């Protein structure tokens, strides 16, 4: 038996449809969510992500602004733009595409964004809110994973959940969201001993390590749910962290790459921007 493929494109389209419906209702009340996207330099992958975000804004009926700044933009200039956008009433969400050039501090950029417009949920205020479970916004990739689990009726409650990777963007918040949903969570990383054995105990295994074919069949429990957050290239083709063909024969549910978690990430950004617009307009959920 092959695993059931968790279709991120299908779930994403469904969520975007409901976002558009809500945006149309908000427009009748004079509210239109607005997102500003900033990109510094010419990183090709970042250019693709930004184009996808612009397209998603159109699909969801948002107002959007894009700022493509040259590589030599100074930190002071970038922080000045963020300050302007913080004060711009048309803008509900601000996203600065990472990575930024080396002469600019990523943390300074994250800290400069008004927490109420931080739709990436990277600001320390929003990170703290996620930790205590009283949050407005969730980091987009972990939120997308949770939405997929819900769509396929996979409840983390009481299950062994293993997250491979401890980044601030995916690994740590992913672990917190599974914990908030009553999962028993283990975070694995490069120093973890007996990694294979730990992973093989997981009912839900999330791979967010950034290495091609890192997760092999012997690391996966029979009937597990395997979520592949990896975005790598192998022979020029997009692939994840999971050795798909091997794991496909063992897992009950598996996300493909592309078409799994990827589409969900940008859709959750739209969801956060919608939430920000409602907060700024004083509209309760």
Q: How far is CA 41 from CA 70, 73, 93, 103, 105, in A?
A: 5, 8, 21, 12, 14
46 is in an annotated binding site: no
H or E element at residue 264? helix 261-281
> 92, 97, 250, 278: which is the annotated catalytic residue?
97
What's the rounded Cα separation, in Å, for the pair 138 and 272?
Answer: 7
Is residue 259 part of an annotated ligand binding site?
no
Told to judge if 75 belongs to the known catalytic residues of this protein, a careful annotator would answer no
Burial of 65 (0-12, 13-18, 19+ CB in 10 A): middle
Paired residues of 100 in beta bridges: none
Give the CA dihedral 141, 69, 23, 15, nearest 10 degrees.
Answer: -20
Q: Is 181 annotated as a binding residue?
A: no
Expressed in percent and rounded to 5, the helix, strand and coil fractions of the chain are: 45, 15, 40
Task: Tell me, yes or no, if 97 is annotated catalytic.
Answer: yes
Which of 73, 53, 7, 80 is closest to 257 using CA atoms? Answer: 7
Catalytic residue among 53, 159, 172, 278: 53
Q: Which of 7, 92, 118, 120 is catalytic?
A: 120
Beta strand pairing call for 237-239 and 232-234: antiparallel
Active site residues: 53, 97, 120
**Which residues are documented as binding site?**
165-167
**Which residues are documented as binding site for NADP(+)?**
165-167
């Amino acid at each position: 038996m092959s695993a059931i493929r968790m279709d991120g494109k299908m779930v994403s389209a469904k969520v975007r449809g409901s976002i558009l419906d809500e945006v149309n209702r908000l427009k009748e009340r004079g509210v239109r969510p607005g997102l500003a996207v900033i990109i510094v330099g010419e990183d090709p992958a970042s250019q693709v992500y930004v184009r996808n975000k612009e397209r998603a804004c159109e699909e969801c009926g948002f107002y959007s602004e894009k700022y493509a700044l040259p590589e030599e933009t100074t930190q002071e200039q970038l922080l000045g733009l963020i300050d302007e956008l913080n004060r711009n009433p048309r803008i509900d969400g601000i996203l600065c595409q990472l990575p930024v050039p080396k002469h600019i501090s990523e943390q300074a950029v994250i800290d400069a964004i008004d927490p109420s417009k931080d739709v990436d949920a990277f600001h320390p205020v929003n990170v703290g809110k996620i930790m205590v479970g009283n949050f407005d916004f969730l980091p987009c990739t972990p939120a997308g994973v949770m939405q997929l689990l819900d769509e396929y009726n996979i409840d983390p409650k009481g299950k062994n959940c293993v997250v491979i990777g401890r980044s601030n963007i995916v690994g740590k918040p992913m672990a917190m969201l599974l914990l908030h949903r009553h999962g028993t969570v283990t975070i694995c990383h490069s120093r973890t001993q007996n990694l294979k054995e730990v992973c093989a105990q997981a009912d839900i295994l999330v791979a967010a390590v950034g290495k091609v074919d890192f997760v092999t069949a012997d690391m996966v429990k029979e009937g597990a749910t395997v979520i592949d957050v990896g975005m790598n290239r192998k022979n020029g083709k997009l692939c994840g962290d999971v050795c798909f063909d091997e794991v496909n024969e063992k897992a009950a549910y598996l996300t493909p790459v592309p078409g799994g978690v990827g589409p969900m990430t940008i859709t959750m950004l739209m969801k956060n921007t919608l939430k920000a617009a409602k907060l700024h307009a004083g509209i309760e959920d």
